[in-house]
Amino acid sequence: MPDHIRPPGQRVTIYDVALEADVSPSTVSRAFSRPSRVNSETAERIRQVAERLGYRTNPLARALTTSRTQMIALVIADITNPVYAEIVRGAQEVAADGEYTTVLIDAQESDRLERAAVERTMSTVDGIVLASSRMSDSAIRMVAKQRPVVVLNRALADVPCVVTDDPRGVRRAAEHLGELGHDHITYVAGPQASWPNGVRWRSLLEAGMELEIKVRQIGPFSPTLAGGERAAQELCARPATAVLAFNDQMAIGIIRGLSRMGVNVPGDVSVVGFDNILAADIVTPGLTTVAAPLYAEGSAATRHLLTMIEGAPGHTGRPMVLPVRLVVRDSTAVRNPSPGRARPAWVRQRPVPGPAAHLP
């Protein structure tokens, strides 16, 4: 039916495009799903007709012939956590460049909800990025047997993974606090099901032994502002002069909670976060934090997933590790050593970095 006499609101079909372009419907289908199998001039004529008529391909219908929907799923642990903003942006931009649509799934920090959502979505997507998954290793492996999967912020022996160099980040944070005269560090733990939480605590234990700094752990707490405020109450009951929080949201909550109880940061307690979210540079005092390459995490994981969808082997034997850096702001300060207490022997005498210094 010519476009000028088409009833208003009627959807353009593949048959309309075929009639207007003077080709068969199967040729139109191939022009969009397998353009290499159609003469270039014919394919261009079909695209021009489709654009003029306003024709849009149906990804689910196309999947019946190509086994591709041109959609991927990105599963995040908590949509309210600002750490995922740049991860999502990086993933979406790479997906869009590859002509893929990203389906965003919020697991709400629940392994049960995450698994149910993945199972419902699996048949409609070509691959899945699991960002900070709360599912068990066995559940992730089961999903990976059915669809290409890349795991973000977690290492599995037989599934493609992208992680950040958290051990180095924790080490730099511990060194920084030690250089400021702190010989005790309290780690405020996040969710028990979080893989990075375990890595960060084990890395702090190792750094503490090597740097002659005593460490302890409290928690777990929810990785939120409210979780940080609850942690502040326990910190007041068990005083500490230096704190490393699981993430920036908790660190900001700790600062707020301590302030309400009359504890000064950094005068009484130095606080370090993890991730370097936007708010870390806005709060007062500015938050010293281990900065993760959030955008690069999302883009690297999605880029790898698209190559797997195209048939490339997924697993290389070890995770892709992205670098981190320590960003020093105003939430950490020198602790005046008590009489008779010396700094750890490893501390080098060097100037203390100023605000917003970036340490490798």
Cβ atoms within 10 A of the Cβ of 138, count? 7
Q: Which fold has domain 166-291?
A: Rossmann fold (3.40.50)
User: What is the CATH superfamily name and number for domain 14-57?
Assistant: lambda repressor-like DNA-binding domains (1.10.260.40)
* Lookup result for tokens 């606090």: 177
> Which residues are CB-contacts of 130 (< 8 A; sequence separation ≥ 6)?
75, 118, 140, 143, 149, 150, 151, 152, 154
Q: What are the sequence ranges of the domains in the chain?
A: 14-57, 67-164+295-322, 166-291
- DSSP per position, 111-141: HHHHHHHHHHHGGG-SEEEEES--S-HHHHH
Q: 16-51 pLDDT, tens per residue?
A: 888 888 888 888 877 776 677 788 888 888 888 888
The CATH class of 67-164+295-322 is alpha beta
Query: Over the stretch 93-137, which tens digit does the pLDDT of each residue have?
Result: 999 999 899 999 999 989 999 999 999 999 899 999 999 899 999
Ranking 9-13, 259-263, 339-343 by mean pLDDT, the lowest is 339-343
Nearest C-alpha neighbor of 208 from the set 235, 234, 242, 238:
242
Candidate from 43-47, 150-154, 285-289, 323-327 with smallest mean pLDDT: 43-47
pLDDT tens digits, 198-228: 999 999 999 999 999 999 999 999 999 999 9
pLDDT for residue 147 is more than 80: yes
Q: Do domains 67-164+295-322 and 166-291 have the same CATH topology?
A: yes
